[in-house]
Structure 1
Amino acid sequence: MNASIKDIAQALNLSKATVSWILSDQGETKGFSQATIKRVKEYADSVNYRPNLLARSLSLGTSNTIGLIIPFIGDTFYAQLVQAIEQEAVRNKYVLMVCSSEGDGEKEFELIKILRSKQVDGIIIAPTKISRKGINLLMKDSLPFVLIDRYYPNLPVNYVIVNNCQCCYDLVSHLIKKGSRKIALLTTDVHLYVMKQRIEGYRKAVADAGLQSEIALEVFVDRSNYRTDIVDKLDCLFEEVPDIDGFFFSTHYLALEAIRYFVNRKIDYQNRFSMGCFHETIALDILAPDMSITLMPIQEMGTQAVQILLENIGNKDFTSRGVVVDNLLMP
């Protein structure tokens, strides 16, 4: 059995309060000497003391734990985002509890309830937007939370997103400047507001360049079976617009699946098309080294989300804050 605060206090002839304050890193603020702080901590380590985090959270009213809900834990973008958030959480002495909603609104709702029952101090979430039940629950309970990557523009809540419309406009405009005139859009999850913004950026760039808008060039892929659906959709695209000369992918996994299609159909994509993608993945560096990218600032997004959440946790009068960061165009 691990030693308790009472055991340590008796062994060192100190009060339980003194030991408790020192082991919760309040020794200096309470005025204890460095010698006493060192003596308590070294003895606690020697007897393998482990704090009762549940009891501590009940007594202090805080657990120093943040919940994080992302749609797809296996997605490279979200894996990088988890890492960025965890680094900032750890820097602030918080533990991160990561969950995946798998893009399911009901599962998202259940995960929010579970995290609340675990007494997390706040939640960072990339919402499915299929259901708002979970977000409504958080707002009703006044539990601090921050939306990241995705958001509801009409809700007065914390969020950290990128300027989806402008960065897509810049990327498509760059492809047009390179000479492309028939640029196909491959997109998915159009129920998400951020995807609508990416489509808007594409359309605006095409219109501002004076190019003819063709419905056939806008390809909407079913997210639930995108690996097979994209094949059928691209077959139709090349049949309707055989002289297509460019592609804009609204997300990285569509770019990868399109390249798989090109390879299987023996299409010389590297010399035939100018291509651009919203964000990148490592494989694109190898498969399409000339592809233009609008790169999401993942580290900044994660850092901002944690900082806003912690400020919200520590301030009952906190006013919700929205942060929009800029992507980096990598031509």
Structure 2
Amino acid sequence: MSVSIKDIANALNLSKATVSWILSGQGESKGFSEKTIKRVKEYAKSVNYRPNLVARSLSLGFSKTLGLVIPFLRDSYYAQMAYYIEKEAAKNGYSLIVCSSEGDGNKEYELIYTLIAKRVDGLIIAPTKTEVKGIKYLQKLDIPFVLVDRYYQNMETNYVIVDNFGSAYELVEALVNKGAKKIATLVTDAHLFVMKQRVEGYSAALREAGVKEDFALKVFVDRQNYRVDIDEKLDCLFREVPDVDGFFFTTHYLAMAAIRYMVKRGVDYHRFKMGVFHTMAGLDVLAPEMAATVFPIEELGAEAVDILLANIREGKDFVLQAKVLQNTFLPSIGDE
């Protein structure tokens, strides 16, 4: 049976208010003696007292809890992001509830609705783009939130992203400088604005280098079925452009899936000039020569939490913030 503040007050012959102030960390500011504060805290610990967080959030107006909605928790990139966001939240005295939308806009909305019902103080979201009603719902209720990794160019929100265009340009430029002329790009989630920016960076780098762009070298892969779809799309690519000599992977898991395909087909992938947008465990062993542009994941998480907490503190006086961070370019991931 759980112990309440009333139980502690009765046992120590103190008022409920006194016990409540001390256990909420306000004993000194309310003028209670060090002896009384110590007595209450030691007794609470001895009886394994656990505060009623729901009741506390109702009385104080905040829960010291943040919500995080990401597309794919099983993706190593988003798992790392969740780790750093949780770490930064904890540093500031906040707990984190992590949810995965699985790239489903309707599920994203339901998760946002549920997190609000749980009285989180604010949310960090890597949105799906296929459905914006969850974001509009947050704006309607004036609940603090930050978009991370992805954003909507036509909506005024807090967001933290990377320079997708510039990073893609730098990576493809490096492939051209290594001698590649027929560079295929593998793209998924093409509806996302950040992904369009990566493709635009790819195109701009080819243009600036005087390399003619070939639509046959743009390979669009279905995200929900990418392991199967990439095999069909690469079969088609190698039939249509057998002399392809380079690959720009717009995301890490497409690079891994492509290497898996080439191993199955007996293709020597080491002969290609390759670059990837971010990396993942295993790529450095399988293709150490591959170039990469790497997300500053820890900085992304810290910036998102800092902006959100500032928004929570300042309320209606807060000015929306947009942060664009720079990736780190690696000439070869084997040297990381």
Q: Same fold (TM over 0.5)?
A: yes
Listed one character per residue, the Cα deviations across residues 245-295 of structure 1 (whole Å, up to 9, x for unaligned) are: 11110001100110011101111112x111110011102122111111100
The C-alpha deviation readout for 1:24-72, integer Å capped at 9, x for no partner, is 1222333444443332211110011110111111101111111111111
- One-letter amino acid of the counterpart of residue 37, structure 2: I
- Take 1:74 and 1:28, find their aligned partners in 2: how far apart are those partners? 45
Which residue does the alignment assign to 2:251? Answer: 251
Instruction: Tell me by how many angstroms 1:6 deviates.
Output: 2.0
Amino acid at match of 1:306: V
Indicate whether 1:130 and 2:127 are aligned.
Answer: no
* Partner residue in 1 for 2:12: 12
Provide, for residues 126-177 of structure 1, a one-character-per-residue CA deviation record: whole Å limited to 9, x for no partner. Answer: 1100011111111101011111111001211111111100011111111111
Aligned ranges for residues 177-256 of structure 1 at < 5 Å? 177-256=177-256
Structure 1 position 242, deviation (Å): 1.4
Moved more, 33-42 or 186-195: 33-42
For 2:180, the aligned partner's letter is: S
Give the letter for the 2:62 counterpart. Answer: T
Which amino acid counterpart does residue 40 of structure 2 have in structure 1?
Answer: V
Q: SS of the counterpart of 2:14? A: coil
Deviation at 1:82, TM superposition (A): 0.6
Q: Separation in 2 of the partners of 1:77 and 1:28?
A: 44
> Do residues 290 (structure 1) and 289 (structure 2) align?
yes
Q: What do residues 213-265 of structure 1 show as CA deviations (whole Å, max 9, x unaligned)?
A: 11111111111211111111111111121111111100011001100111011
Q: Could you tell me the TM-score, scaled by structure 1's length?
A: 0.97
Amino acid paired to 1:202: Y
Q: TM-score, normalised by structure 2?
A: 0.95
Distance in 2 of aligned mates of 1:198 and 1:37: 57
1:58-117, Cα deviation, whole Å (9 max, x unpaired): 101111111111111111111111101100111111111111111111111111111111
After superposition, the CA RMSD in angstroms is 1.2
Report what 1:56 is aligned to.
56
Measure, in 2, the Cα distance between the counterparts of 1:265 and 1:30.
Answer: 73
Q: Secondary structure at the match of 1:219?
A: strand
SS at match of 2:49: coil
**Amino acid corresponding to residue 261 of structure 1 in structure 2:** Y
The amino acid across from 2:260 in the alignment is: R
Alignment map for 1:137-156 (pairs within 5 Å): 137-156=137-156
Matched to 1:75, the amino acid is D
Alignment correspondent of 2:26? 26
The equivalent residue for 1:173 is 173
> Residue in 2 aligned with 1:113?
113
Q: After TM superposition, what 4+ stretches of structure 1 lie above 4 angstroms from structure 2?
A: none
- Work out the CA distance in 2 between the residues paired with 1:78 and 1:48: 35
Give the Cα separation in 2 of the matches to 1:39 and 1:162. 51
What count of residue pairs does the alignment treat as equivalent? 330
For residue 66 of structure 2, what is the amino acid of its counterpart?
I
1:165-223: CA deviation from partner (whole Å, max 9, x where unpaired): 00111111111111211111001111000000000111111111111111111111111
Separation in 1 of the partners of 2:284 and 2:36? 55
* Letter of the 1:137 counterpart: Y
SS at match of 1:116: helix
Q: Distance in 1 between matches of 2:34 and 2:182?
A: 70
Task: Give the secondary-structure state (helix, strand or coil) at the position aligned to 1:199.
Answer: helix
Mark the runs of 5 or more structure 1 residues left unpaired by the alignment: none
Tell me the equivalent position of 2:334: none
Aligned to 1:3: 3
Further displaced range: 133-142 or 235-244 = 235-244
Partners of 1:201 and 1:300 in 2: CA distance: 23
Partner residue of 1:325? 325
- Identity rate, percent: 63
- 1:90-109 aligned at under 5 Å gives the runs 90-109=90-109
Corresponding residue of 1:70: 70
The alignment partner of 2:282 has SS state of helix
